[in-house]
Amino acid sequence: MNLLFIGDIVGQPGRRAVKELLPKLREQHALDFVIANGENSAGGSGITVKTAQEIFAAGVDVITSGDHLWDQKEVMELLADEKRFLRPLNYPPGTPGQGSAVFLVQSSRSKPQSPVPIAVLNLQGRTFMQPALENPFLIGADEVKKLRERAKIIFIDFHAEATSEKIAFARMLDGQVSAVIGTHTHVQTADEQIFPGGTAFLSDAGFTGPHESVLGREIAPVIQRFLTSMPQRFEVAKDRVILHGIVIEIDETSGLAHRVQRVAEATAS
């Protein structure tokens, strides 16, 4: 099973990058399943039904999110109706939407009559993060136990700021899940690895969008904010659009990772 995870999609440039580059990546890596973090896909902040539909139409199978979940009011419709859209699981009970789901995937390696179940879990860290949610270590471990009864392959998008929190969480679940990939910082790290138990890990997948920027936003207003401490309007930048992510090869029988490869693919324009 070859799985691609796409780092935080930022605005229209990020959506365009997915549409343009995903077909080539699918062929190049013989992809069976694609997950993307879409929490910044609508104007660089939040997600709407329209932007989610655009991402799904580009070939993404599941969209995860994070702390910008509530930035667009239209997200309530996604949370209510779209089973392929996940929000962090560790919100309080009664919060709309779902934090995990299991999908049946017909991989190129499985028998035609034997779709492979893949569980996807979305969690948000607490260190330097707002709002402060329930403990992802406790909630995540409990949810993994439940998911392991339904799927061998379990992928986790851990949306968090602190690398220590991401690494500790992944180490805790080594051998119990297929992959723990970090999101949120918009900076792709170079620590991709497979832990001794067989769990793939990357501190941060990076972001998909304009990299001639400050984390996807126009440069000058961000500098002005640091210089003056006054509010600025942070528009999405436009230039040097790159898709960041990671490809993970997972054994369908054991659910453990065999290979990881970071992706940094630029658009043609």
Q: Which residues of 85-97 are buried (b: 16+ CB within 10 A; e: fewer)?
A: bbbbbbbeeeeeb
d(CA 264, CA 269): 15
Which residues does the annotation mark as catalytic? 68
| Distances, alpha carbon 221 to alpha carbons 12, 39, 242, in Å | 19, 22, 22
Could you tell me the two tokens for 265? 């693919």
CB-CB contact of 147 with 100 (8 Å): yes
d(CA 251, CA 63): 23
